[in-house]
Structure 1
């Protein structure tokens, strides 16, 4: 996505009223929106052409949003934003475990939705000033991080990290050995103050551990997490 080109969003939602209203709202904000009414069509559209962000409903016919998210994560690190029914914590947890970067609840408030999308797109395209000022190469055991190139290697094998996973790792790497609370990580990695569920941090840490090694990020009970030196 160039600076001048509108971001391309793939919206997969089976409710026609919600699908049309969300698409129209996003287009008013300048986004280019492609829509699908079921998971299999959404997967097909995703494979036909690149998109900058995916907005997936959890409950979809054919292939549900959780399954679609997993299929996309097999080949792509594009930001994924899940839409969940209000109060349905199981949907939220399942979506984040499947590889989603964030979630919103339905009915979707347009201002919140756009804020979440902007945050995800920033994570996918920029590195903060603090992170870009890091050393060219950071080494933690068998893990090598190259912040300027946005590359991470484990035992010399490059890892495919989703944007949020990469931002989270870079935040840890900027404070090696320092305990970072969930609220601090929500503020500095997710780009906004979140008054609600901090499980998004825990689940992203779990996904990151599977890729970089389970013992690399230590849980400090009652306080947060830290990256082992």
Structure 2
């Protein structure tokens, strides 16, 4: 059965912001630490195992990778929406040279602040661990700028159902206490947990007007 992200295709990999497609339409960015399973999550969401490059060595995504989607249907009478997914470079892995880390810190900051077609962020974090400094920085940025954020807690297959539910409740309570209006869900690429829920959340982000 067709789903909102079916038909995603690799478009380009950009080292600088000005190499991205024209700033029009709608796009959702994927962000997360290098070992959180971002590429695997992307592949599961679009239903294409080889679309986003996965590796046993985290941190291989060192460019902004653009995937185009088929035009996204909107409400009755509205023209289909030009849509994209943007895979941001994985953050926080020691093997990435300092100069490259600094380059991406600046480029991602410019991207998040200046990209008009950016409709939301999908933040990937390992459900087994507390949120890291980068995760909280991204959540705080989204909250302060009004950019919608969907927190995808990956590797849920590594925990029992009770542990997953407890962790979900804890994360939601933490975000509510901190005034961060992000949505949160559990996810597992190999088990397929939460895939449909996440697809619908991303489609909704793409349709959001800013």
Smaller-chain TM-score bracket: 0.3 to 0.5
Structure whose residues are more often helix by fraction: 1
TM-score (ref. length: structure 2): 0.45
* Structure exhibiting the larger radius of gyration computed from Cα positions: 1
TM-score (ref. length: structure 1): 0.41
